[in-house]
Amino acid sequence: MKKTLIALAAVAVTSTAMAQVTLSGVITAGFKSTQTSSTVNDKGFGFDDSSVTFAVSEDLGGGLKLSASMSLDVMGEGDATTGNGNVLGLSGGFGSLTFSDVEGSDYLPVDGLTANGNGTVGDRVTYSLPSMVPGLSVAVSYKDGGTAYGYGMTAPALSSTSVILGYKMGALTLAALSTQTTDSAITTALQSRVGYKIGYDLGIAAVTYGQLDSDNGTSADNKETGLTVTAPVGPVSVAVTAAKSKTVGSTSRSGSGFKVSYPMSKRTTLAFYAESYDNATSGAADVKETSLKISHSF
């Protein structure tokens, strides 16, 4: 349940400004084991994915609204608190314009295997068109090459422009992504990326399939695919994932994952996750990860 705080900020000696702030977050603790070879198996207890978010909004009048949020990662005792993204956006009849430095979500499952589909960090400016067709969303996003203020455009090799399409009609969900790097003179790194996802809710289970093709210039191109099936089993939610990564001139790598989530209440969840995928080093043992976590959101 979200808590509402009243924050008072002194503007001058004789006046104060009042803003309503919404506080939310999650605290997660558990056990994790990561086996990267036949002799290396790191494991232990700790806190993970714990964060707190402060959010505000303001009606600017004339149909214009401002929304902003700031998130912090809060880990174990003695660990540094780090930024987990800021968002500031304006929305109205024109659509929405959003500034953010939040890490993008992973495009495909099996995080350690489908590395090209992992979310990236960078300052972004995103314009989303107003809804013109029911269920259709269109957005254009520019990502800087860094996160420091006034820095990213000087690192064009890491900058990119993306067009994101989404469509939902009943049980069917479609998504498409096209990304182009800014500096075409960098011929050995990522030049462009095209991806799509198709999802359908069958009632007894939801199925999502996705593919991501990366053009790496003179370096080897890569194709990644992923499949996720999620189904309720009584009070428990079960998800099975599978993914494959193929780099031109190299052998294919594959992996799979299994997750079981049990809601102990509306805000507390117990989850078990296991993941296994081919090691990037040829001939090395598969990478295996397992975790058991309890999370409480507020």
pLDDT tens digits in sequence order for the chain, 298 residues long: 455 444 434 333 334 455 689 999 999 999 999 888 777 788 898 887 789 999 999 999 999 999 999 999 887 666 777 777 899 999 999 999 999 887 666 777 766 666 666 666 678 899 999 988 999 999 999 887 655 555 555 555 567 889 999 999 999 999 999 988 866 555 556 678 899 999 999 999 999 999 988 887 767 788 889 999 999 999 999 999 999 988 887 778 888 999 999 999 999 999 999 999 887 666 667 889 999 999 999 9
Residue with tokens 């990478």: 287
Any domain includes 7: no
Any domain includes 6: no
**Structural element, H or E, at residue 267:** none
Q: What is the CATH number of the domain that holds 251?
A: 2.40.160.10
Q: What does the alpha-carbon distance between residue 154 and residue 105 come to, in Å, rounded to a whole number? A: 25
Strands annotated E in the chain: 3-12, 15-35, 41-47, 51-61, 64-73, 82-92, 95-100, 124-128, 136-143, 160-169, 172-181, 192-201, 206-215, 222-233, 236-247, 253-263, 268-277, 287-297
Q: Which residue, among 167, 175, 259, has the nearest Cα to 211 in the 3D structure?
A: 175
Any domain includes 243: yes
Residue 98 to residues 51, 105, 143, 147, 166, Cα–Cα distance (Å): 22, 16, 12, 15, 17
Q: Which residue, among 148, 147, 175, has the nearest Cα to 162 in the 3D structure?
A: 175
Structure pTM? 0.78
Number of domains in the chain: 1
Any domain includes 2: no
- The boundaries of the domain holding residue 208 are 19-148+157-297
